[in-house]
Amino acid sequence: MEYITVRKEASSEFVEKKSRFIGTCKPVKTEEEALEFIGAMRSRYWDASHNVYAYVLRENGIQRFSDDGEPQGTAGIPVLDTLKKGGVTDAVVVATRYFGGTLLGGGGLIRAYSHTASIALAAAEKIVMKECLLLKARCDYSFYGRAAAAIPEVGGVLDDTEFLEAVTLRFHLAPEALEPLRRRLADATNGKAELWEEGKRFFAVSEKI
């Protein structure tokens, strides 16, 4: 299972016919987080002409947007469409406009707000999140080096190592790599390594797509 989101909160801006547009994007998990961020942007840019927003969440397939006083269909929907066309979820974009005195027209507003969302997404850096297995392997110290080397060979990422009476390696791995890992560990430790699954979690597997 995979999805696309953004790596960090970030913003970018440009000027169109003297109107200043600021796009700010943030990864969020819940509607509460999205609304809190929108409120924070409204407070930060309290003197702006408009603070348009859109967000898409995996939680219940939620999609919301607001034109915030711009003509209907010219602001919030273009921002939402930019998120959807990019396949981005668990993210919110606030597109702030300081009116410069020149009307842009309906088409001009749609292009401007789409561009604002696009540069905000670019600044926040799209990433692919993949559901991985959380695994734990235990072996004797004599096999530690070979066991630790076997994990990245099949795409696993080491998260923690514990040195007690034996060595315990905690790592995450794509589900399809589990059987190849079992074989590698068995070969590396003469079948002496123990392996447990501890759950699942999403991790970034690709950045700046």
**What pLDDT, in 10s, does the model give residues 101-130?**
888 888 899 999 999 999 999 999 999 999
DSSP 43-107: HHTTTSSEEEEEEE-SGGG-EEEE-TTSPTTSSHHHHHHHHHHTTB-SEEEEEEEE--S---HHH
Answer left, alpha or beta for residue 61, where phi above 0 means left and psi between -120 and 50 means alpha: left
Take residue 173 and report the two structure tokens written for it: 């791995």
Q: Please name the residues in contact with 107: beta carbons below 8 A apart, sequence gap of 6 or more.
A: none
Closest by CA to 95, choosing from 195, 165, 19, 168, is 19
Contacts of 124 (CB under 8 A, 6+ apart): 6, 7, 8, 9, 10, 25, 26, 27, 91
Across 12-33, average pLDDT: 95
With CA atoms as reference, report the closest residue to 1 among 205, 145, 147, 189.
205
Confidence of residue 208 (pLDDT cuts 50, 70, 90): low
Mind listing the domains of the chain with CATH numbers? 2-124 (3.30.230.30), 130-207 (3.30.70.240)
Distance CA 115, CA 122 (A): 10
Q: Read off the pTM.
A: 0.82
In this prediction, residue 100 carries a pLDDT of: 87
- Res 103: pLDDT: 83
Q: What is the pLDDT of residue 206?
A: 64
**Spatial CA neighbour of 99 closest among 148, 45, 27:** 45
Q: Cα separation of 209 and 177, whole Å?
A: 23
Task: Determine the pLDDT at residue 135.
Answer: 95
